[in-house]
Amino acid sequence: MAPTPPTPSTAASAPADPLAESRERTQPLLFRCGLAFLLPLVALNLWEGRVLQASIVAVLCACLGLNLWAVGRGRPAPVSFALLLLPGLAAMWLVVEKRGPTGLFWAFPAALFFYFSLRRSVANACVGLMLAVGVWRAWDLIGGDVALRFALTLGALVGVMNLILSALARLQERLAFEATRDALTGAYNRREMTTQLAAAVDRQRRHAHPATLLVLDLDHFKTVNDTLGHDAGDRVLQGLVGLVQARMRRTDTLFRTGGEEFVLLMPDTPVPEALTLAEALRAQIAAAAWLPDRPVTASVGAAPLQPGQDVNAWLRAADQALYAAKAGGRNRVVLSPSATHTGPTVNAGTSP
């Protein structure tokens, strides 16, 4: 039975901060909206003689203005968003004491600001602190009925925001899965291969870590599709991926790069170890019973990463080894001629 391709939940964990990528773009807008909302309140409080409240709101405006100036010049915001909670709480405290329930209204736009500008865990902590302070002051100065209503409504906002962020995280997880995985087999796709091979090249240049590529291509696979149909071909491809994933190490990564061609990246792997795995895979594929009364074999090209090679040269070396395996009769493993290796360069099975 063909293996089931991995689902997004098993392929990657949900992002802890689904708004992280968009936050940099939305920061200037948040700062401008905050200033547009708060500056009139500074003027209003000064007009009505509430100097302390005006001063606290002015501090918030100054922090937002400083952050907007820095971000506009490509620099990180110098004032942490979490620190803005302190003058915000002070302003809410004063308004509750002087004007009653209207001070509690500050908590709702502040909560939205925190959720859009901070990681969810930090935003929950900030809003939780606002909720505790608001309920405490409202209970003491206004009454339990108002405190309870405030707690319920702000708590509902927290719940809704967490539901929205969880849905966004699941959507991002799904999109990331579909962007990097082959839909039929669950193996990674060519786009992801380019990224991971570039990372392996960088590790080799920086730390001289070895790495080896195996290119696997099913022999005469077109005849399977032509004679038995694409459903049979799909079962073979899924069976191959299941076999390789069961045999490879946790640090290895399998990519589907063509119809019946796959690439196995083996980081921190010298040539002898890679050839041992390649021969084991070749033998297991030949022995697999994916199709009734019809054996399936694969040719394998192996290429270690050479000093100074880039991704394209590394792939070309592995492809050349694969072509040599095909030309030599198929159902065999061939090491790239450019590789530095003292052992055998060809391990052959019985060609069908």
pLDDT at 88: 66
- Residues 223-247: pLDDT tens digits? 988 888 999 999 999 999 999 999 9
The per-residue pLDDT for 92 is: 65
- What pLDDT score does 132 carry? 84
DSSP string, 258-309: SSSEEEEEEET--HHHHHHHHHHHHHHHHH--SBTTB---EEEEEEEPPTT-
Q: CA dihedral defined by 162, 164, 166, 172, rounded to 10 degrees?
A: -150
150: left (phi over 0), alpha (psi -120 to 50) or beta: alpha
Of the residues 260, 261, 273, 279, only one is catalytic, namely 260
Same domain, 32 and 62: yes
Nearest-angstrom CA–CA distance, 138 and 150: 9
List b or e across 275-303, with b for residues whose CB sees 16 or more CB atoms inside 10 angstroms: bebbbebbeebbebebbeeeebbbbbbbb
Considering the domain boundaries, does residue 4 fall inside one?
Answer: no
pLDDT at residue number 150: 82
Total structural domains within the chain = 2
231 plus 338 within the same structural domain: yes
**Residue 260 appears among annotated catalytic residues:** yes
| pLDDT of 173 | 83
Residue 152 in domain:
yes
Domain range for 24: 20-179
In this structure, is residue 12 part of a structural domain? no
Task: Identify the domain boundary among 136, 152, 179.
Answer: 179
Q: What is the pLDDT of residue 299?
A: 96
Quote the pLDDT of residue 274.
93
Report the pLDDT value the prediction gives residue 85, as an integer from 0 to 100.
Answer: 67
Tell me the per-residue pLDDT of 324-349, one tens digit each, with 9 for 90 and over.
Answer: 999 999 999 999 987 654 444 445 45
| 265: β partners | 213, 253
The pLDDT score that the predictor gives to residue 331 is 95
Say how many C-beta atoms besides its own lie within 10 A of residue 341's C-beta: 16
State the pLDDT at residue 334. 95
Q: Are residues 201 and 301 in the same domain?
A: yes
Three-state secondary-structure class, residue 77: coil
**Rounded to two decimals, what is the model's pTM?**
0.62
Closest CA to 85 of 55, 124, 130: 130
Q: How far is Cα 281 from Cα 320, in angstroms, rounded to an integer?
A: 19
CA pair distance 215, 235, nearest whole angstrom: 20
What pLDDT score does 27 carry? 75
- Regions in the chain scoring below 50 on pLDDT: 1-14, 341-346, 348, 350-352
Which pair of structure tokens corresponds to residue 66?
């400083």
Q: How far apart are CA 157 and CA 154, in angstroms?
A: 5
pLDDT of residue 25: 74
Q: Do 148 and 200 share a structural domain?
A: no
